[in-house]
Structure 1
Amino acid sequence: MRKINQKDIDNRLTKAIRELSDPKSYDLVCHEHRLGEPMPSIDKLAKMVDKIRQIIFPGYFGDINLNLGTIEYYIGVMVDEVFELISEQILAGLCFSCSSDSERPEMLQLEKDASQIATKFIEGLPEIRRIMTTDVNAAYLGDPAANGIGEVIFCYPATRAISNYRIAHHLLKLGVPLIPRIITEMAHSETGIDIHPRAEIGEYFSIDHGTGVVIGSTSVIGKNVKLYQGVTLGAKSFPLDENGNPIKGIPRHPVVEDNVVVYSNATVLGRITIGHDSVIGGNVWVTNSLPPHSKVVQVKSRQAEFVDGSGI
């Protein structure tokens, strides 16, 4: 049996440690934590989002069997828990976004800011519930396979993805850094539906099946829009600055007006406008604006014979 050379192992491990500790190797991928500052926590954010779902959809989630006679107490408990969780995570996002000590406000001020933002977020929950109600209703009315509103809330991945988006979008509008993106990426990992929190999406929005849907950050979607699986609302190109780097923040994703349906695996690219009441068929590419009431489909299929493998 070959003898273990412990000295050789120690030397190799020491060499790896030195290389990993070289500032040149981690210059772009290291975050130096400041003592006393909270870090964003995916676990705590997941807990927070779950509790917000309990508030938005009372009686559907959580371990408590809801009694309508005590709903105000129930909502009050949930709101208190969400307020504590979200205040801490907002503070973590604010701290994380300060890249240098010169940019960093006093911790007491950051805590006050986080508390104010958390309060405004809680004040916006009734509106989030209102618009999520329209989304759930759109999914139910638009899917013959849905047996009830409860099935849409419990089972549909789009409900989870859209609710994460609505929560994250509200936080983004309140000026919270980083945390909104984490929340939408949590839903992306769970459902395969990728909605950037900066996208603007109107009410009665639905995604059928959902897997593979991508909605870019500067997308604007009107009311009563329905997307099927695999749809991409993406960017066609990235303008570069004088240094050859992509220019960030400019509108580069589609504007989809009211009452539009986009079928599976369609790709809509660039800052174009899809006019209201239009239908985009499956597996097509759209890179130019469409007027209202447009219908875009693939070229008509043709019948072919396949004999002994010919034609394949």
Structure 2
Amino acid sequence: MSTFDIPEIVKQLRQVRDQWREKQNRTDTEYREFPSRDAIARAVESFKGVLFPLRLGPPELRHATEDFYVGHTLDSALQTLLAQARIELHYRQRGSAVGVQEVDAQATNAVHQFAHSLPQLRQLLDTDVLAAFQGDPAARSVDEVVLSYPGVLALIHHRIAHTLYRLELPLLARIVSELAHSQTGIDIHPGAQIASGCFIDHGTGVVIGETAQIGSNVRIYQAVTLGAKRFPKDEQGHLQKGWARHPIVQDDVVIYAGATILGRVTIGQGAVIGGNVWITDDVPSGTHVSQARLQKDADATGSSTVSEARVAA
């Protein structure tokens, strides 16, 4: 007899799973129901090597074999991605009248579009790499930035995840983004729209919500939150989903460490948001917002507002 009474524990766990599946109306268990996090992680590592072969590819790789490596690795990674895309789409279509062949065709089309987006994705990432190199006086080379900066790693994952998100593979996209989150402490929802030349410096604790929009050449420091201000519910008391609830950050904005910006507010072009401030109103273009100024306004009026923030000369 087992010391730990394994058969009885297995039986009870089966009963709990069956109860859950019955409540969730999940009775068809013939196929794997969910994508594999491990398979997606392997595919993402391969895509990173495809995008930056000599820096994020295998150590033995040389220029002479670069194209062979990219082609072979890309084919394998896309096949893995296709298998996981099929699983996600079958999962989402369970109980519907959509046939297996139609779902497979949708998966194939999505992965085909993803594959052809990779050259443009690499060009976009190059702008992020240059932004990090040019924006950090401690950076000695663009290679150092690619190899070691957590903000760049998070953006590589985000660019991949956002592409999958736009191709209506949100579960795969979320897994890709959470892989970076676990490695860097930078939490970017795959739905967030981030234009070229983004630099996330240091990065730990950065949170960027699903409907956030970030313009070109924006610099964000650690512990910045671009979040939602409120969470309205429907008549059944469930959180409403899909509505625009996160900030819009226009071009050339700098957001320093610890700043919290909540709601569908707009941070105007060229604004500078100081450290540890709390923003819930629009900030005009060119405005400098600092904690000291906000505290002075709060002491005088009983409430703080960015409308009275100091404007740059």
TM-score (norm 2): 0.86
Quick one: which of 205, 209, 219 aligns to 1:212? Answer: 205
Find the aligned partners of 1:49 and 1:268 in 2 and give their Cα distance.
31
**Other-structure match for 1:232:** 225
Quick one: which of 141, 151, 175 aligns to 2:144? Answer: 151
Change (3 A) 1:70 1:105: same
Quick one: which of 88, 91, 100 aligns to 1:96? Answer: 91
Find the aligned partners of 2:259 and 2:253 in 1 and give their Cα distance.
13
**Other-structure match for 1:179:** 172
Greater per-residue helix proportion: 2
Quick one: which of 261, 286, 292 aligns to 1:268? Answer: 261
Find the aligned partners of 1:122 and 1:164 in 2 and give their Cα distance.
15
Of residues 164-173 and 59-68 in structure 1, the stretch that sits farther from structure 2 once superposed is 59-68
User: What one-letter code is carried by the residue in structure 2 that aligns with 1:168?
Assistant: A
Find the aligned partners of 1:74 and 1:13 in 2 and give their Cα distance.
47
Of residues 159-168 and 293-302 in structure 1, the stretch that sits farther from structure 2 once superposed is 293-302
Change (3 A) 1:153 1:13: closer
**Other-structure match for 2:42:** 47
Would the aligned equivalents of 2:50 and 2:57 in 1 still touch at CA under 8 Å? no
1:147 Cα deviation from its structure 2 partner = 1.0
Find the aligned partners of 2:14 and 2:37 in 1 and give their Cα distance.
30
**Other-structure match for 1:308:** none
**Other-structure match for 1:307:** none
1:104 Cα deviation from its structure 2 partner = 5.3
Change (3 A) 1:36 1:104: farther
Where does structure 2 lack aligned partners over 5 or more consecutive residues? Answer: 297-313
User: What one-letter code is carried by the residue in structure 1 that aligns with 2:282?
Assistant: S
Would the aligned equivalents of 1:95 and 1:104 in 2 still touch at CA under 8 Å? no
Q: What CA deviation, in whole Å up to 9, does each residue of 1:236-295 have, x standing for no partner?
A: 001222222221111000000000000001000000000000000001100000110010
Find the aligned partners of 1:203 and 1:134 in 2 and give their Cα distance.
6
Structure 2 residue 189 is matched with structure 1 residue 196: yes
The 3-state SS of whatever aligns with 1:268 is strand
Change (3 A) 1:275 1:104: same
Find the aligned partners of 1:191 and 1:52 in 2 and give their Cα distance.
18
**Other-structure match for 1:310:** none
Find the aligned partners of 2:163 and 2:9 in 1 and give their Cα distance.
47
Would the aligned equivalents of 2:259 and 2:273 in 1 still touch at CA under 8 Å? yes
Quick one: which of 31, 34, 47 aligns to 2:29? Answer: 34
**Other-structure match for 1:119:** 112
Would the aligned equivalents of 2:263 and 2:280 in 1 still touch at CA under 8 Å? yes
Superposed, 1:76-87 pairs within 5 Å as 76-87=71-82
Percent identity between the aligned chains? 40
Where does structure 1 lack aligned partners over 5 or more consecutive residues? Answer: 303-312
Find the aligned partners of 2:271 and 2:156 in 1 and give their Cα distance.
26
Quick one: which of 282, 285, 291 aligns to 1:292? Answer: 285
Would the aligned equivalents of 1:239 and 1:247 in 2 still touch at CA under 8 Å? yes
**Other-structure match for 1:164:** 157
Change (3 A) 1:32 1:264: farther
Find the aligned partners of 1:247 and 1:187 in 2 and give their Cα distance.
27
1:85 Cα deviation from its structure 2 partner = 1.1
Which has the greater radius of gyration? 1
Find the aligned partners of 1:285 and 1:275 in 2 and give their Cα distance.
16
Would the aligned equivalents of 1:231 and 1:266 in 2 still touch at CA under 8 Å? yes
1:225 Cα deviation from its structure 2 partner = 0.4
1:68 Cα deviation from its structure 2 partner = 2.4
Change (3 A) 1:38 1:241: closer
Q: What CA deviation, in whole Å up to 9, does each residue of 1:201-241 have, x standing for no partner?
A: 00000100000000000000000001000000000001222
The 3-state SS of whatever aligns with 1:59 is helix
Of residues 59-68 and 210-219 in structure 1, the stretch that sits farther from structure 2 once superposed is 59-68
Structure 2 residue 255 is matched with structure 1 residue 259: no
Quick one: which of 53, 58, 65 aligns to 2:60? Answer: 65
Structure 2 residue 13 is matched with structure 1 residue 20: no
Find the aligned partners of 2:59 and 2:72 in 1 and give their Cα distance.
11
